[in-house]
Structure 1
Amino acid sequence: MRSSTRSPRRSGVVLAVVGALLLAPVSGRAEASPDAETQARARFAEGNLAYDVGDFDKALKSFSEAYRLKPLPGFLFNMAQCHRQLGQYPRAAFFYRRYLALMPDSAQAQVVRELVQEMEARAREQEARRLERERAEQDKQVQRARAEAAKAEAEAAARRRAELEAEQRALEARAAQALTQPAPQALAGNSVSAPWTRKWWVWAGVGAAAALVTTGVIVATSGPDARPTSLGTLGPAR
């Protein structure tokens, strides 16, 4: 993300003194060789040109290389400016503070302090927006997961219903088939004859015969006396 300059006057004033700052080495630092200083000035010129045309990534790279060649506070400020334009507010605040640590009494120190406060505020806002986006994305993921779970549950329920319906149809088909066939016991009763001793007419006949025999015996024993056998037979003249 690239940000526009909030205070053109503030930025212009500070950038105007960067060239002068480059010529003022920080006490305690080793002097760069003439060749290194020449290269640092070349990187500084490249960085300024890139910054002017809005290529802040290239400008940042050029200023960083210049600082390695000749570690002057002005390069740190320029690096902070590039980070600010790129929307990298925590990094911008870092390099502004590094500049203040090296140049606490400079004429532009108060302006840089204000820039530090601005970058810190923007960094907090940026972090809040990032967290809000993360929460929104998490909410979307939860909603997607719930929708997928509900879909899977509905599909499983549909499969269970289909299985139950298939089982019910199979049971009904077997029941209908059983109704169209004779019972096994009825078939056995029609094809096997009962023993002769269990037939009603056999015992009825036996009872009748027994009754006749009994009657005959009674008649024979209770009738008139038999004619003596000594009388012989009757002839035609008798």
Structure 2
Amino acid sequence: MRERPQLARSEYRRGVAAMKVGDYATALAAFKYGYAVSARPGFLFNIAQCYRNLGRYREAAAVLESYRPYAPAERGAAIDALLCQLEKLARQQPAR
């Protein structure tokens, strides 16, 4: 798929607006589509946050793990701490 930066920006804004009102399912769809049309790694962090807020901790951890190599160095410790937290929450969840 050819990168579509305008559409990616539009989906990012839609996702942020949905997150602000707690509509994480809509935000997730927007961020996933934005990532699909742009492959910009920043979308992965937002996708992980949506999964986390939806209680889908395994998926959140998996996506955050894929974002980790792209994270700015100064955010590395915070990302690692969030990953640990998500993995702990995932272990406490019954398997789906």
Amino acid at match of 1:99: Y
Select the structure with the greater relative contact order (CA < 8 A; seq sep ≥ 6). Answer: 2
Once the two structures are aligned, what percentage of the paired residues are identical? 34
Matches within 5 A, 1:146-161: none
Matches within 5 A, 1:30-69: 32=3, 36-69=4-37
2:47 to 75, 79, 82: 79
Amino acid at match of 1:111: A
Match of 1:119 in 2: 86
Please give the secondary structure, in 1, of the residue aligned with 2:73: coil
Amino acid at match of 1:112: I
Distance in 1 (alpha carbons) for counterparts of 2:91 and 2:22: 25
Q: TM-score, length-normalised on structure 2?
A: 0.91
Distance in 2 (alpha carbons) for counterparts of 1:102 and 1:67: 14
Please give the secondary structure, in 2, of the residue aligned with 1:87: coil
Matches within 5 A, 1:218-229: none
Greater C-alpha Rg: 1
Gap regions ≥5 residues in structure 1: 1-30, 131-238
Distance in 1 (alpha carbons) for counterparts of 2:74 and 2:59: 23
Alpha-carbon deviations, 1:151-172, whole Å to 9, x = none? xxxxxxxxxxxxxxxxxxxxxx
Amino acid at match of 1:126: Q
Please give the secondary structure, in 2, of the residue aligned with 1:75: helix
Q: TM-score, length-normalised on structure 1?
A: 0.38
Matches within 5 A, 1:1-238: 32=3, 36-103=4-71, 105-127=72-94
Please give the secondary structure, in 1, of the residue aligned with 2:52: helix
Match of 1:28 in 2: none
